[in-house]
Structure 1
């Protein structure tokens, strides 16, 4: 038990604070999907922070890959293969395992109309095009499977972005990212801004949010570590502004405006956390019980919506309650505990072992080809 605790809650990542930020985001998603903060759409805010965080971490990785190509120690095809392999090892196994468990357990995990939603959308879910199905085919959400649309957007970005940017000289990456995110935003607004659902789930809006995070990731790489006075207060204030602007636009009926602004504030927030590693805000996010939720956040995000229903039924069975704020709080607490247990098991016995394969640079033949490029 102590070893499991250390592997999930004990070891800090290279960039401190980001797992804690992930933890807050998945809690926002959980309370939203349970109905407690649905009117405030805290899950939507969390998703846009996740998008910005993905870009913040992934784009600099690809930037380093481009620099290896320019240094002559690798070539474009090799770097693309390595990137795709690493993303596939991190994303595919647990994703498809989750789908397999849903398929085998529809009676207990997905019931009623949700069974038809699953089988009617399975082809889209398997091919990471759930966002297209929700926004442009079904024109409605998919119940407990709705959250899978965000993974589709991210996976699409991981496919298209390397193919385009690995060939761009590194000196043009910052300007290229800026132009790209502006084009993505303008086209998405021109195309579907009047439709809240389509604007939210279409790939271009998601790509814009990821690209914003990527631009801040390149900026953080250039800044390095800085000693900024009152950085903890600044980070806390920025996080508060991020939440307040979201609530303002959501509650006043302008959700798409919130989606445009959130990536900008999220990217800046993530950059400050990264370059101000000694801030009080970073230290707070590094509290083990907070950080540990972030460590298993991918599994938590995948599993939570599938366990909310059973958690509610369990609370109803034990207490007799079926609605109300107290019932929702108990349902959320139960779902949190169950999801953490499942996520930790998945992380320790499945995800972590697969991630070890990422340490392998490449098969010898591929490395040789890259070295000659």
Structure 2
């Protein structure tokens, strides 16, 4: 049965790059082979709404931070799918183009938010804000947070961006190595990496230590492993129950980690695994009215998913600075107006960058 990945129809290999003239006649640009699936943006909407509610309600026990693990699993799946399409078409990964596209997609919105918030941050936080901006702009927030404590209060949410940037640097080369060595069961290698990181997180939690930013990357590799598995099983088909089982697993993780923080390390795994099940139902399941795919494809939900990155960038520094300006130490006191305000800025930023970003990507494609 054809799936959203039916274009993955020939064996993968890494060979000497073929001449440009051959490439031109062989295939269109990689992006033309990737079918857009609105429900995946709907899944992003679920992730960002969990994060927004989590921060907006702090310190109430709502574990919406698991939205990050949804983002991680989805990102691992999509990035691996894009890279596999490159290998399939050109027998190589064009690393320069890959990194350029990532930079165009991610950095402009972050830079706009940093510049716009800078005067207010300096006014409220003083020189500390400059240090936090430096960490955010260089994607070093997780490094500082891991080894020196939470050294980036205003931009603390950028720890996840830093983890993804490290992943982007490592994973393409890992894929090239796996395919050049013709490693069998490549998805098992990725799954093992994810389980090792998740297992280490559980062990760390059992000792009473704080969660590790870097070990949260286990969700990324779970998403990668499913993309690799699906490439090897192109006729795979998943019933609608997979999608709802995934949604229930995520919900279970949110409830469990909210009321019993000691179970957070298990909840990270539940969120990532539930996301993979949801992705399976979306990309290789039926499109009937009872499927999760239909629920997540509702236009307003899809739109929230499309602006999810900008929402993620804006909401936390806005909430923190409003909290400090109001002289309170609880985000719940300002979240009711700081989060909607950041949503307005996210919408403006997204639409201001859509066309320029498309031109920048095309220029070097």
Cα distance in 1 for partners of 2:47, 2:166 equals 22
Cα distance in 1 for partners of 2:113, 2:298 equals 29
Q: Which moved more, 1:287-296 or 1:159-168?
A: 159-168
Q: 2:217 aligns with which of 207, 223, 241?
A: 207
- Are residue 179 (structure 1) and residue 192 (structure 2) matched? yes
Residue 277 of structure 1 and its aligned partner are, at CA, apart by: 5.2
CA contact (8 A) 1:153 1:207 kept: yes
Where does residue 298 of structure 1 map in the other structure? Answer: 309
Cα distance in 2 for partners of 1:340, 1:356 equals 25
Residue 133 of structure 1 and its aligned partner are, at CA, apart by: 0.7
Q: 1:156 aligns with which of 159, 166, 175?
A: 166
Cα distance in 1 for partners of 2:234, 2:219 equals 23
Cα distance in 2 for partners of 1:36, 1:54 equals 26
Cα distance in 2 for partners of 1:255, 1:164 equals 29
Deviations 1:124-149 (A, max 9, x none): 32221101111211x23643321110
CA contact (8 A) 1:62 1:166 kept: no
1:105 alignment partner, SS class: helix
- Are residue 88 (structure 1) and residue 103 (structure 2) matched? yes
TM-score, normalization by structure 2: 0.77
Q: Which moved more, 1:183-192 or 1:145-154?
A: 183-192
Residue 242 of structure 1 and its aligned partner are, at CA, apart by: 1.8
Where does residue 346 of structure 1 map in the other structure? Answer: 349
RMSD: 3.2
2:177 alignment partner, SS class: coil
- Are residue 255 (structure 1) and residue 269 (structure 2) matched? no
CA contact (8 A) 2:243 2:277 kept: no
Residue 228 and residue 260 in structure 1: after superposition, are their counterparts in 2 closer, same or farther (change >3 A)?
closer
TM-score, normalization by structure 1: 0.75
Q: Which moved more, 1:124-133 or 1:139-148?
A: 139-148
Residue 336 and residue 278 in structure 1: after superposition, are their counterparts in 2 closer, same or farther (change >3 A)?
farther
Where does residue 3 of structure 2 map in the other structure? Answer: none
Residue 234 of structure 1 and its aligned partner are, at CA, apart by: 4.4
Deviations 1:229-265 (A, max 9, x none): 5x1x542343122211342244222222222332222
- Are residue 60 (structure 1) and residue 69 (structure 2) matched? no
Deviations 1:159-205 (A, max 9, x none): 11112322321753323323332444455566786355342x1x2x2
Where does residue 367 of structure 1 map in the other structure? Answer: none
2:178 alignment partner, SS class: coil
2:38 alignment partner, SS class: coil
Q: 1:197 aligns with which of 201, 210, 222?
A: 210
Cα distance in 2 for partners of 1:65, 1:251 equals 44
Where does residue 359 of structure 1 map in the other structure? Answer: 362
- Are residue 122 (structure 1) and residue 137 (structure 2) matched? no
CA contact (8 A) 1:31 1:37 kept: no
CA contact (8 A) 1:246 1:258 kept: yes
- Are residue 264 (structure 1) and residue 282 (structure 2) matched? no
CA contact (8 A) 2:139 2:161 kept: yes
| Unpaired stretches in structure 1, ≥5 consecutive residues | 1-12, 317-321, 363-373
CA contact (8 A) 1:94 1:299 kept: yes
Q: 2:51 aligns with which of 13, 29, 41?
A: 29
**RCO higher in structure (CA 8 A, sep ≥6):** 1
CA contact (8 A) 2:144 2:151 kept: no
Residue 103 and residue 300 in structure 1: after superposition, are their counterparts in 2 closer, same or farther (change >3 A)?
same
Deviations 1:321-368 (A, max 9, x none): x9999x85xx55544442332122211122442133323564xxxxxx
